[in-house]
A = this chain, B = another copy of it.
Amino acid sequence: MSIKLDDKHKALIEKIGIAHEEKGLQPVAGRILGLLYVSPRPELTFDEIRETLNISKSATSTALNLLMHIGHIDYTTFSGNRKRYFRLKVGNWRDLIQGEIEKVIKMSHVLKEVLAVRGDETPTFNCSIEEFADFMQFMHKEFPVLLQRWEQTKNKE
């Protein structure tokens, strides 16, 4: 059974798909995320996804496993039903953003390595690199504080 969607929904799926492609996901994986965002029912089976997006079983399987691997989706099951119901782990957005911040800290470590191999002949240049690295570490340290501050303004409303 494929999910019926109007043109607005379909356009939005592509938009979300492309946004995720830009971050390095394969097109099919991006579209699956798009579908799971706009689908009226937020838990869809393998075949609903496959048929709605007109993709092969192999592409569906590979993309779903990738998305589970990187923590974007998971699935539930219901007893007496062998199907898996795939869904976005949106409640998980804090961890997803935290993951991005961890990439930033990695880059700052690489920059520190750069500083270690550079001579003292280029003080201004070195100083910019150090600033960049330091700010990344500052961001990493301050992120949990920022998140907490947001949670609080949220509660006040």
| A102 part of interface (Cβ distance < 8 Å) | no
Q: Main SS of the interface on chain A?
A: helix
- What are the residues of chain B within 8 A of A106 when measuring CB–CB? 19
* A65-89 contacts to B (CB < 8 Å): 88
Interface contact B93-A135, CB-CB below 8 Å = yes
* A8-57 contacts to B (CB < 8 Å): 8-9, 12, 15-16, 19, 22-24, 37-38, 40, 42
Interface contact B9-A117, CB-CB below 8 Å = yes
Produce 1/0 per residue, A124-156, CB < 8 A to B.
Answer: 110011011011001100100011011001100
Minimum distance in angstroms from A126 CB to a CB of chain B: 9
With beta carbons under 8 angstroms apart, the residue of B38, B118, B128 that contacts A91 is B128
Cα–Cα distance between A83 and B95 once the two chains are bound (Å): 48
Interface contact B12-A131, CB-CB below 8 Å = no
Interface contact A38-B107, CB-CB below 8 Å = no
- What are the residues of chain B within 8 A of A110 when measuring CB–CB? 12, 15-16, 19
With beta carbons under 8 angstroms apart, the residue of B42, B107, B131 that contacts A125 is B42
Interface contact B40-A119, CB-CB below 8 Å = yes
With beta carbons under 8 angstroms apart, the residue of B117, B122, B135, B150 that contacts A8 is B117
With beta carbons under 8 angstroms apart, the residue of B8, B91, B146, B154 that contacts A146 is B146
- What are the residues of chain B within 8 A of A88 when measuring CB–CB? 125
A12-B110, A38-B117, A40-B118 given; 5 more Cβ-contact pairs under 8 Å: A15-B110, A16-B114, A22-B24, A24-B24, A135-B150
